């Protein structure tokens, strides 16, 4: 994900031309039939494999990477970039997800027991042509193409591009951006990976970052806990890259992008034009506009003969998640807008009418405030007027029968004086005073559009 953020957050033609030819290529889509229809936005399948070619022997020992690779996917994430390029949704897919893979990965189609919107993802082939498996086996059996095919049939989401990172390329990317901060309130230790972090905030280099995102023997949360740490790590990467000086420095950006993109494998269709288009559209990407969620599960210990313990998706909730992706809907409610925390209110602004009067000597302030109130959802009929006399403090006149509605208006105009006016009716009358500075965003959105979805600014280190 770090390399994707670097790519789409401000690179230009010079950088793309310099690294496009260095990107390793893999056939991820050739000859595939019966694929889902394309969706609004752009969908990347990001996989991390346990490949360790090119690692220094000393690093292998230091970071507990001496075992033989299984040539399977250690991490699987679906990254959805919204059509308006204002959001990035990152969905973690458990590596132990129960699926059915074709017995002949070359000619057969993969099938899944998952459902989409209450209907099967695809007409499954006869059971005799498939076998039960964990999803991370798809890569070992059929490489990128079978992995893409399996995810598409599980989700009904059309994958536009494929990116593959191994241990060595992950470490290089973290190192080239100067390391990444992680934070924890308790010690994190895993004897399998060698991870040993004290409480507090620590800046990790590439090797220690790999230990952090791989560890799943820290506590009873196992792989689910690891996915949460991976999401926090990615949120921190996005925060660091988009809030620092890297994107403003062409020389530094070229160095970072060259290292990041030159150490991955991508599908053959991901060309310079795609990278340029994404770069132009995603300059505003930030931690607050990045959404993180894991696939909802119904069974954390689903035993399958010959396979062992797997995890099963919650068909209803997972179906809702993938439906939101396909419809290009937000996964988490907006919690930051225009640099301000969005306040949750009880009454929907769309149900509240507000009339604005300018009680100051500042020309155009009424129109400015009315536009801002409309932007956060309030109904603002007519044109703003000029108050009969100047006021120092912003006032909201309201009918006491609409005492719940006025609280939504007050949340958008913090510090305003509330004045009850019996018989005024449902319209709120706002008179702007000399203290007026801005309208704060409000929302009635639920805690989560998709279960457990969070925005990146909620999980980064402070």
Q: What is the CA radius of gyration of the chain?
A: 26
pLDDT in tens, 138-177: 998 889 999 999 999 999 999 999 988 887 778 888 888 8
What local confidence, expressed as pLDDT, does residue 269 receive? 85
Query: 168-207 in b/e burial notation, b at 16+ Cβ within 10 A?
Result: bbbbbbbebbebbebebeeebebeebbbebeeeebebebb
Least trusted range by pLDDT, from 204-208, 387-391, 446-450? 446-450
Higher pLDDT, 8 or 101: 101
Higher pLDDT, 135 or 243: 135
**Domain assignments of the chain as residue spans, ordered by start:** 2-333+449-458, 340-443
What is the dihedral angle through the alpha carbons of 257, 286, 213, 74, rounded to the nearest 10 degrees? -70
Fold designation for 340-443: Alpha-Beta Plaits (3.30.70)
CA of residue 166 relative to chain centroid, distance? 21
Tracing tokens 């006025």 back to the chain, one arrives at 406
What local confidence, expressed as pLDDT, does residue 16 receive? 55
What local confidence, expressed as pLDDT, does residue 34 receive? 87
Report which of 313, 253, 83, 60 is spatially closest to residue 171, judged by C-alpha positions: 60
What integer best gives the mean pLDDT of the chain? 81
Contact assessment for residue 122 and residue 153, using Cβ atoms and an 8 Å cutoff? yes
**What is the number of alpha carbons within 13 Å of residue 95 lying toward its C-beta?**
24
Tokens found for residue 158:
């059309």
Q: Cα–Cα distance between 456 and 445 in angstroms, integer?
A: 18
The end-to-end CA distance of the chain, in Å, is 21
Inform me whether the pLDDT recorded for 280 exceeds 90. no
pLDDT in tens, 216-230: 888 767 777 888 888
Task: Give domain 2-333+449-458's CATH number out of 2.60.40.10, 3.40.630.190, 3.40.50.2000, 3.40.50.720.
Answer: 3.40.630.190
Least trusted range by pLDDT, from 6-15, 179-188, 352-361? 6-15
Q: Cα–Cα distance between 131 and 100 in angstroms, integer?
A: 5
Contact assessment for residue 163 and residue 81, using Cβ atoms and an 8 Å cutoff? no
What local confidence, expressed as pLDDT, does residue 219 receive? 74
pLDDT in tens, 433-448: 999 999 998 888 655 5
Inform me whether the pLDDT recorded for 15 exceeds 60. no
What local confidence, expressed as pLDDT, does residue 113 receive? 40
Do the domains spanning 2-333+449-458 and 340-443 agree at the CATH topology level?
no
């Amino acid at each position: 994900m770090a390399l994707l953020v670097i790519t789409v957050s401000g690179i230009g033609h010079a950088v793309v031309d310099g690294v496009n030819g260095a990107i390793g290529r893999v056939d991820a889509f050739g000859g595939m039939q019966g694929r889902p229809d394309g969706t609004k936005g752009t969908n990347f399948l990001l996989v991390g494999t346990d490949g360790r070619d090119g690692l220094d022997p000393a690093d292998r020992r230091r970071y507990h990477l001496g075992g033989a690779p299984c040539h399977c996917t250690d991490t699987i994430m679906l990254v959805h970039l919204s059509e308006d390029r204002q959001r990035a949704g990152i969905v973690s897919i458990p590596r132990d997800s129960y699926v059915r893979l074709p017995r002949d990965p070359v000619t057969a189609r993969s099938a899944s027991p998952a459902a989409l919107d209450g209907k099967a993802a695809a007409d499954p082939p006869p059971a005799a042509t498939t076998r039960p498996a964990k999803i991370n086996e798809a890569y070992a059996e059929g490489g990128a193409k079978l992995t893409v095919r399996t995810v598409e049939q599980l989700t009904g989401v059309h994958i536009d591009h494929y990116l593959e990172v191994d241990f060595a390329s992950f470490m290089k990317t973290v190192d080239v951006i100067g390391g990444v901060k992680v934070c924890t309130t308790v010690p994190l230790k895993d004897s399998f990976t060698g991870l040993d972090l004290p409480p507090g905030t620590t800046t990790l280099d590439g090797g220690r970052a790999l230990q952090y995102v791989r560890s799943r023997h820290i506590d009873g949360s196992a792989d689910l806990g690891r996915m949460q740490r991976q999401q926090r790590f990615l949120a921190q990467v996005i925060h660091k890259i988009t809030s620092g000086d890297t994107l403003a420095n062409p020389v530094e950006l070229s160095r970072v992008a060259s290292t990041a993109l030159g150490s991955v494998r991508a599908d053959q269709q991901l060309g310079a034009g795609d990278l340029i288009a994404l770069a132009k559209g995603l300059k505003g990407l930030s931690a607050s506009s990045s959404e993180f969620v894991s696939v909802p599960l119904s069974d954390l210990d689903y035993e399958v003969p010959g396979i062992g313990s797997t995890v099963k998706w919650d068909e209803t909730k997972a179906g809702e998640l993938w439906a939101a992706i396909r419809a290009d809907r937000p996964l988490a409610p907006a919690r930051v807008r225009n640099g301000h925390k969005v306040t949750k209110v009880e009454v929907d602004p769309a149900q509240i009418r507000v009339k604005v009067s300018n009680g100051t000597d500042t020309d155009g302030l009424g129109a400015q405030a009315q536009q801002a109130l409309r932007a956060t959802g309030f109904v603002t009929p007519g044109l703003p007027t000029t108050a009969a006399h100047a006021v120092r403090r912003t006032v909201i006149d309201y009918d006491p029968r609409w005492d719940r509605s006025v609280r939504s208006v007050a949340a958008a105009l913090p510090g305003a004086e509330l004045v009850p006016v019996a018989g005024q009716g449902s319209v709120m009358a706002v008179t702007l005073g000399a203290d007026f500075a801005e309208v704060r965003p409000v929302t009635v959105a639920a805690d989560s559009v998709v279960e457990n979805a969070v925005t990146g600014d909620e999980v980064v280190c402070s």
